[in-house]
Amino acid sequence: MRLIGKDVVTYGACRAMGKAIAAFLLLVSPAWAGPVTVLALGDSLTQGYGLVQDQGFVPQMQKWLDDQGIEARLVNGGVSGDTTAGGAARVEWSLTPEVEAMIVTLGGNDLLRGFDPGVSRGNIEKILKVAEAKEIEVLLVGMKAPGNYGAGYKADFDAIYPELSEAYGTLYVGNFFAGLGEGSPADLQAYFQPDGIHPNADGVGRIVEALGPRVIELINATK
């Protein structure tokens, strides 16, 4: 089952916009005493399933930030197969004292298993409540439900991320896969591993370029 929504921007436009935003944010970035530690809390998409170590989401994002001159240290908090419930169960101890910001990318496995959107919402809200209590800045990255569960399910699930982001004042990206752009399933398959679910190294690179400017915003928000 593919978890890519239709409301995504083209890769070329996203890449050009991302570079422009990143350049601007770099100019306005404050001087820091040291790197900001960012926890990437997620599932196999964060963990780097099926990829060699330096091709996963966290290593590629770390390199992208380094290339922009951003002083940050990303911690890979991705657990393959994790659900929103798993993230909620481990967020408290994952947010060690040095962590100042968190990227939350969870919900894909909830979709694959057809979990009740209300349950997923409750779990993500628990994560955001812990972050709020610890004064941790958050970038919440959404997932888009496929249409095969029905329009009602899709509407309920897709609403989780923007509504909770607004309620808890987090930064927000609507779709983890947006950087891959639009296209037919056959076209987009070029950026996926054979399972059709996990991006390959090229796909991760595109995702990182799209998300990178928002990660810079997250890092700046800690100061």
Fill in the DSSP letter of residue 29: P
Is 116 a known active-site residue? no
Distances from the Cα of 87 to the Cα of 98, 148, 185, angstroms: 19, 25, 30
Active-site residue, selected from the candidate residues 43, 44, 110, 120: 44
Is 44 a known active-site residue? yes
The yes or no reply on domain 11-221 and CATH 3.40.50.720 is no
User: What are the tens digits of pLDDT across the range 138-158?
Assistant: 999 999 999 999 999 999 999
Active-site residue, selected from the candidate residues 82, 165, 198, 202: 198
Structure tokens at 185: 């399933």
Predicted structure pTM score: 0.85
C-beta separation of 110 from 158 below 8 A = no
Q: Indicate the pLDDT class of residue 19, thresholds 50, 70 and 90.
A: low
Q: Indicate the pLDDT class of residue 25, thresholds 50, 70 and 90.
A: low
Is 82 a known active-site residue? no
